[in-house]
Amino acid sequence: MARGGGRRTAVATAALGSLLAVTALSACGGSSGDGADSRASDSPGGAGQSSAAADPTRIPGVGDRLQERIPGDSRQVVAVYGDGRDSADSTVVLYTKRGSGWHRARSWAAHNGTKGWTTDHHENDKRSPVGVFTLSDAGGVLPDPDPAPGAGLPYTRSASFAAPRWWAKSYWHDFDYVIAIDYNRVKGTPPNDPTRPEGTSKGGSIWLHMDHGSGTSACVSLPKPAMEYLLRTLDPDRHPVVVMGDRAHLEA
């Protein structure tokens, strides 16, 4: 199986790098506090292992409204369980489907938007959008951790992903690895493509990316080992999606 048209390699020009840095800033970057995350990286999703055992055909902690939006052919779900509507803390759990049942594979402590979650995301509201979104493209400053053809998401390596050096140093490596969340973007393009089909006011450039220890502008951030694991594991042939939101919205 070809890797979504093959691995992409990008060489950033100065103009492109400037444009994409602005785009990344408007969605994922910027200083939003330096609070360290003291939670263990394998902390549980807290959505109920017992509910998974009771009904393995459902993602735990996800109500009918969002459960029904998970594509029938999806066999990989990245679930982001936000601690609260106004909280920047969350837990990410990877579920894989074998047969008709979902199985918990890994979990990690994570962060979402500094101000929490929203069902009506807009540019610069500092909240992550609630919903179910496909995962189609990846990239970053660093080389693809899974370079062998035939498995992972299409990956664009480019210096244009680099966070601006006028950001606090703790943010400089945020975009070493990124996975695009398909919210207001064109699938099949690099994650930092600035095109926003629903218009700029709806925000965009919302990614899974590396964590700096506190909330983001709208993205979901994870530890480096988590990003490496997801990049090695997510497979276009398994139609991966992210199901994300605070626990109350997820369960609704």
Residue 27 is assigned to a structural domain of this protein:
no
Residue 164 is assigned to a structural domain of this protein:
yes
Can you give the pLDDT at residue 27? Answer: 57
Residue 43 is assigned to a structural domain of this protein:
no
Residue 212 is assigned to a structural domain of this protein:
yes
Strands (E), 16-171: 76-82, 89-98, 101-111, 116-118, 127-129, 131-140, 155-157
Residue 55 is assigned to a structural domain of this protein:
no
Residue 110 is assigned to a structural domain of this protein:
yes
From first to last of its 252 residues, what are the pLDDT tens digits of the chain?
334 444 554 433 333 444 444 455 555 644 443 333 334 333 445 544 444 456 899 999 999 999 999 999 999 999 999 999 999 999 999 999 998 899 999 999 999 999 999 999 999 999 999 999 999 999 999 999 987 765 699 999 999 999 999 999 999 999 999 999 999 999 999 999 999 999 999 999 999 999 999 999 999 999 999 999 999 999 999 999 999 999 999 999
Which DSSP letter does residue 250 get? H
Contact 32, 126 (CB under 8 A): yes
Give the domain range for residue 193. Answer: 77-251
Residue 28 is assigned to a structural domain of this protein:
no
Number of domains, the chain:
1
